[in-house]
Amino acid sequence: MTRIRAAVCTAFNAPLAIEDLDLAPPGPGEIEVKLEAVAICHSDISFAEGIWGGDLPAVYGHEAAGRITALGQGVTGLTEGSRVVVTLIRACGRCPNCAAGKPTICESQSGRPSPITRPDGSEVVQAMNCGAFASHVVVHQSQVVALPDTMPPESVALLACGVITGIGAVVNAGRLRAGEDVVVIGAGGVGLNAIQGARIAGARRIVAVDMSGEKLGIAKDFGATHGVLATDRAPWKQAMKALGKGADVVAVTVGAIPAYEQATRYLGWGGRMVMVGMPASGAMAQYEPVVPAFMGQHMIGSKMGDVVISRDIPWMADLYAQGRLKLDELVSGRWSLDQINEAIADTKTGGARRNVILFDT
């Protein structure tokens, strides 16, 4: 057992508690990672608020980077001491979805006992296959990718979720082609990366839509050509004016029902709406189905950008090394584990791009 420090959710919508916990050694196909950084994603906050249910106590956190400290039996291609990005994407490699190149929707992700316990032996849930609001994690080897030591750990951590989700939403799920037009609804952490993905893929024009004028300004730094306030009357008309037509791809990166209900209004003929943001369970949106049926439009769900991490994360890391992908600029605050509740509160204000917890190394 490894004794770790972790931020534990003991009650929904309550502050996390810092506790000393025990972490089981890695089993077959697993590795132990001593974390250097973990970013706070809005999904972690939503889980801790209970909007998707789940069991407690739990350790959240799923956007992490660190160094391998132990290898389980049968692990190949990884070595102790290597820096890795730790994702929540645990893939069996054998189910029909994995075999079809869709590891983000692997059919065999449940049923694994948590490696985390309290000193009295009671189990603590390892949320999202990671439990990375902690000094160490034990994860399956399919969840990590080794990256160069030259990359700062906080930038490596961002490649675990926000970056791959945003870029993958437009490139993989949205099948964006060079010269097409894009609307990104939400200019937060995921939205900024959807904008970056559209820029990298060669979009003609990229319209960012957000309720904050300040965030629209930041969106232009990441590649947006136009900004539209979501609070304007009929903002889709402003977007169409900027594009000269309806968008080819609309990426909804916020979990807000009004955003989903308005998203189809931005679409042109044959346009694709990519559904990224996750509203609360039970929340419903309404559409007029005759419009997408007549105009040949598509609604596409995208989980984690439909990425294959062994393919897409090294590509993105290389873009970063070339100066074509902004990662350092996404970090808006650096905090210690003891400050995690303050970091979460700051994230909930909506102004942060990504707050990152840094661990002593």
Residue 211's CATH number: 3.40.50.720
Are 203 and 227 within one domain?
yes
Q: Using alpha carbons, select from 194, 145, 158 the residue that is nearest to residue 31.
A: 145
- How far apart are alpha carbons 69 and 348 in whole angstroms? 33
- How high is the pLDDT of residue 110? 65
Are 150 and 182 within one domain?
no
Structural domain boundaries enclosing 176:
166-302
Examine residue 152 and state whether it is found in any structural domain, yes or no.
Answer: yes
Are 261 and 331 within one domain?
no
Tokens of 184: 């990104």
Examine residue 146 and state whether it is found in any structural domain, yes or no.
Answer: yes
Longest alpha-carbon distance in the chain:
64
Are 153 and 170 within one domain?
no
- How high is the pLDDT of residue 324? 95
Are 39 and 135 within one domain?
yes
Are 110 and 171 within one domain?
no
R_g (Cα) of the chain, nearest Å: 20
Tokens of 215: 């965030």
Are 12 and 133 within one domain?
yes
Number of domains in the chain: 2
Are 143 and 252 within one domain?
no
Helix intervals (H) in 222-339: 235-243, 257-263, 290-295, 309-321
Examine residue 315 and state whether it is found in any structural domain, yes or no.
Answer: no
Are 8 and 155 within one domain?
yes
Amino acid identity at 307: V
Are 7 and 98 within one domain?
yes
- How high is the pLDDT of residue 111? 63
Are 7 and 150 within one domain?
yes
Q: What is the pTM of this model?
A: 0.93
Query: Would you give per-residue pLDDT tens digits along the chain (361 residues)?
Result: 889 999 999 999 999 999 999 999 999 999 999 999 999 998 899 899 988 888 999 999 999 999 999 999 999 999 999 999 999 999 998 999 999 999 999 988 766 789 999 999 999 999 999 999 999 999 999 999 999 999 999 999 999 999 999 999 999 999 999 999 999 999 998 999 999 999 999 999 999 999 999 999 999 999 999 999 999 989 999 999 999 999 999 999 999 999 999 999 999 999 999 999 999 888 999 989 999 999 999 999 999 999 999 999 999 999 999 999 999 999 989 999 999 999 999 988 877 788 999 997 5
Are 229 and 295 within one domain?
yes
